[in-house]
Amino acid sequence: MCFKAQFNVGAERFIRDWQTTEVILSVRDLRMYEHDPLIGIVVLPLADTFKQRSQINEYFSLSGGIGHGRVRISMVFRSIQLQAPR
């Protein structure tokens, strides 16, 4: 049994409108004998997630897959100011 688990995977994305955006995270099992590798998903509407504060570090329950459990998600909201080119 050989698998490459990915822990502490980081990503940074530009989001145009955070008040209407939903982040959907999927947790998969990539071992060869799995027919349906989706363990579960987490749906996070950013307007609800960042309603009280601009940084979170919480556990969220997995749903909609063959497994169960929780996943710890850390997110930081950073605003940027852009100026359109002329």
Residue 56: C-alpha distances to residues 33, 51, 75, 77 (Å): 35, 11, 5, 9
pLDDT at residue 33, as a whole number: 66
Single out the residue of 2, 68, 8 nearest to residue 31, CA to CA.
2
**Contacts (Cβ under 8 Å, ≥6 apart) of 60:** 42, 44, 70, 71, 72, 73
Structural domain of residue 58, as residue ranges? 22-76
If DSSP codes are grouped into helix, strand and coil, which group holds residue 72?
strand
pLDDT at 73 over 50: yes
pLDDT number for residue 9:
78
pLDDT at 1: 42
In-domain check, residue 70: yes
> Is 11 within a domain?
no
Q: What is the pLDDT of residues 6-53, one digit of tens each?
A: 677 788 888 888 899 999 998 887 776 667 788 899 999 999 999 999
User: Is residue 4 a part of any domain in this protein?
Assistant: no
Q: Does residue 1 sit within a domain?
A: no
